[in-house]
Amino acid sequence: MIGKSVVRKLSAAFVVAGCAFVAVVALGATVYYALALVLPPLGAAAVTAGLFALIAIVVAVAFLGAAGGLADEPEEEPEGLGARAYTLFRQRPILGTVAALAGGYIFLRNPALATMVAAAFTEKSQSRRRRY
């Protein structure tokens, strides 16, 4: 069943996230106690916090740069209703979710409308190329 697969993957993701959290906390404690041997406790805490803040900044810049989040490129106008809906969900997820819920409610109230919209999404364009 599809539900069991999703639940298993979600459970595995939560377990991995929990293990990663515990590993980062343990690493922070290790760094703190190692620095506490040579620095006063307040200094060790400050250096540990600064080190983890620096690591967080470096990781954020690396991921944003790799994902293109730092580059401001003009986006092309989406073609078609499906592409516009995808762009709406990507740029404004809350508004897209509200629109989807409202659309679902309307479709439940009027199944004929749902059929018309489904036909519009699956309809092929009118301009056909001839094969020679």
| Average pLDDT rounded to a whole number, residues 111-121 | 72
C-alpha separations of 91 from 95, 97, 104 in Å: 9, 11, 20
Most confident option among 10-19, 36-45, 93-102: 36-45
Question: pLDDT, tens digit, for every residue of 43-72?
Answer: 989 998 888 888 888 888 887 776 655 555
Residue 34: band (very low, low, confident or very high) from pLDDT cuts 50, 70, 90:
very high
Tell me the CA distances in angstroms from 24 to 6, 31, 38, 69, 86, one per residue in order. 27, 10, 22, 26, 36
| pTM for the full predicted model | 0.45
pLDDT of 121 reads 63
Q: Among 39-43, 75-79, 106-110, 113-117, which is the least confidently predicted range?
A: 75-79
Compute the average pLDDT of residues 14-22.
88
Which of 23-32, 61-70, 81-90 has the least mean pLDDT?
A: 61-70
Tokens of 24: 């980062």
